[in-house]
Homo-oligomer: A and B are copies of this chain.
Amino acid sequence: MTRVLVVDDEPAIVRALVINLRARSYEVDAAHDGAGALRTAAARHPDVVVLDLGLPDMDGVEVIRGLRGWTRVPILVLSARHASEEKVQALDAGADDYVTKPFGMDELLARLRAAVRRAEPVGDGGDTVVETATFTVDLAAKKVNRDGKDVRLTPTEWHLLEVLVRGGGRLVAQKQLLREVWGPSYGTETNYLRVYMAQLRRKLEADPSHPKHFITEPGMGYRFEK
């Protein structure tokens, strides 16, 4: 199920969007200002954000920057402004698309589909299955297999595993892990990492006390190794 975050201060527009999206079985959250948008995004981790630029509390571009500080979620900007200047600013701040009001619902939905499709994890040429000596991760199917049996992971465990595996052998900083999994305000709670890394290792490592795949780089972060 695709989760959409709709941000607009005009209730009529939010209503219209929510109805249309729910009818197409999207899961929809809504926020009516910039602060709420950032908060909700952090809490709910939407798959795509529809963002009105004319918010009461903060500049739309600031909202984009706030999101881009910790996530690459597609952002589809809505705006009444037709000026080229505005569009360029929003796009360069990290928006993925820009639609001017009034907009056609069909078109908006098509652009939304395009944004979501693009973000799908099917990497260029690479496939979504990563195999190690002791277990196999299928990122698309969201499944982990070990000794022929599926391993049950909690949502948080999954998210953490996902970020690590996507890192592809690169070191992932603690701060980045925390922000991507728990949200932008959790940059320092390294104890979460310790607890959940222990969980992952217990479930996936052959010898959890001597991890071969989830490597700690003290003081810096963690690394996933095949």
Residues of A whose CB lies within 8 Å of any CB of B are: 72, 74, 84-85, 87-88, 91-92, 94-98, 104, 106-107, 109-111, 113-114, 117-118, 121-124, 140-143, 152, 154-155, 158, 166, 169-171, 217-220
Check A158/B91 contact, CB under 8 A, given A118-B118, A122-B72. Answer: no
Check A88/B72 contact, CB under 8 A, given A154-B219, A170-B140. Answer: no
Structural contact, B96 and A114, CB atoms closer than 8 A: yes
Task: Give the contacting residue for A96; candidates B118, B122, B142, B169; CB below 8 A.
Answer: B118
Tell me the bound Cα distance from A98 to B143 in angstroms: 36
Of A91, A154, A155, most buried by chain B (CB within 10 Å of CB) is A91
Check A113/B87 contact, CB under 8 A, given A72-B122, A124-B72. Answer: no
Structural contact, A84 and B96, CB atoms closer than 8 A: no
Structural contact, B155 and A170, CB atoms closer than 8 A: no
Tell me the bound Cα distance from A74 to B94 in angstroms: 16
Structural contact, A218 and B170, CB atoms closer than 8 A: no
What's the least CB distance linking A9 to chain B, in Å? 24
> Which residue of the partner chain B has the closest CB to A97?
B97
Task: Give the contacting residue for A155; candidates B122, B123, B143, B218; CB below 8 A.
Answer: B218
Structural contact, A107 and B84, CB atoms closer than 8 A: yes
Check A155/B114 contact, CB under 8 A, given A141-B170, A143-B171. Answer: no
Tell me the bound Cα distance from A130 to B91 in angstroms: 31
Structural contact, B111 and A155, CB atoms closer than 8 A: no
Structural contact, B111 and A91, CB atoms closer than 8 A: yes
Tell me the bound Cα distance from A85 to B107 in angstroms: 8
Of A152, A170, A218, A220, most buried by chain B (CB within 10 Å of CB) is A170
Tell me the bound Cα distance from A84 to B88 in angstroms: 23
What's the least CB distance linking A220 to chain B, in Å? 5
> Which residue of the partner chain B has the closest CB to A155?
B219
Tell me the bound Cα distance from A136 to B88 in angstroms: 38
Check A123/B88 contact, CB under 8 A, given A96-B114, A218-B154. Answer: no
Tell me the bound Cα distance from A113 to B94 in angstroms: 10
> Which residue of the partner chain B has the closest CB to A215?
B150
Task: Give the contacting residue for A220; candidates B84, B95, B155; CB below 8 A.
Answer: B155
